[in-house]
Amino acid sequence: MENVRSAVPDQKTLLAKYGTVGQKKARTADEMDSADAAAVEEAIARSLQEKAFWILAKPKLQAIQSNTTHTSNRTNNVVVNQADKNEEPSEISDDNREQQMLGFADLNNAFRAYLTKHDLQVISNPGTGSNCAIYALVQHLRPDLKDSNLDNEVNELRREYDVKNPSDSNDRMLHLDTGVGGAAKTLTRLVNERYNVNIQVGVVEAGLDAQYPVTSREFISASGASAPFTHHVVIWDQQGHYEAVTAKRPSTEETGQNIRTDAINLMNRVASRSSVRAAFGTLSSALMKYRLR
């Protein structure tokens, strides 16, 4: 039987299906170059987020028995699931937040050292208006926003949240928790709708001893684990403040420049060849190797 190759869709059709918003809106060569560069940066940022996710919050296969109260990770003995440690509540009250943060100060310092050791970094935020959880989510998805632009974006999301949850208004701190009183499901749904994404958030906190420096507490998504996720991100619960965690870029300028050059070359192939899907696949492979360094 004769092999028949399906027709390759034209570049415009493929760009409409797979391109970024900026690439779709570009009308000139300069605008497309700018959009391509932004797409490369987004791909690299997403790769760094993935690296942090798989180091700190990767879901683990565990044997849970009826009387088990603690199950260590069989593949990586530095992470333990909060669900198996019935030693503390999932969230603390606003009244006890300062005391809890002081109690966790040494553990949080040890956790920062662990992050540094594994080439991970914290993205700090001011937490203005008790909105640190929103800041952490937005910083993952809109790293281009800084200062007042970031503040305005966070405030807009908080207004949307308060409309749906008036009892949480008046600058009440929002907890990334799926339990009673938690804001996680609503916040992830608002973020997904605003940025046209589907995120999975791994919430982690400092471990309780040196053997287990990381506690992987909860995995949060708006639409459930069966849906395809566009982003896997990590947020650190410091027992009263939330901050985003991602991987550091390569420590040497040469390594970073090589990765950036390779990614830009691949994006140029997207603009010059008809097989956009193939070029994106190659870009993904290159970024995967970058992530695993």
State the pLDDT at residue 209.
Answer: 83
- Residue range 206-231: average pLDDT? 83
Q: What string of H, E and C letters represents the secondary structure of 104-148?
A: CHHHHHHHHHHHHHCCEEEECCCCHHHCHHHHHHHHHHCCCCCHH
Spell out the domains of the chain, with CATH numbers in brackets: 11-46+252-291 (no CATH), 57-247 (3.90.70)
Query: Of the given ranges (140-154, 172-186, 187-201), which has the lowest mean pLDDT?
Result: 172-186
292: its two tokens: 């695993």
Query: Of the given ranges (48-52, 114-118, 142-146, 177-181), which has the lowest mean pLDDT?
Result: 177-181
Q: What does DSSP assign to residue 227?
A: S
- Residue range 176-193: average pLDDT? 89
Q: With cut-offs at 50, 70 and 90, classify the pLDDT of residue 68.
A: very low
State the pLDDT at residue 7.
Answer: 52
Q: Which residues have C-beta within 8 Å of that of residue 179, sequence separation ≥ 6?
A: 90, 91
Q: What is the pLDDT of residues 229-271, one digit of tens each?
A: 999 999 999 988 999 999 998 766 555 565 566 556 555 654 5
Percentage of the chain surpassing pLDDT 90? 39
Chain-wide mean pLDDT for the chain?
76
- Residue range 193-214: average pLDDT? 91
- Residues 233 and 202: beta-carbon distance below 8 Å: yes
- Residue range 49-64: average pLDDT? 71
State how far the Cα of 64 lies from the Cα of 91, in Å rounded to an integer.
23
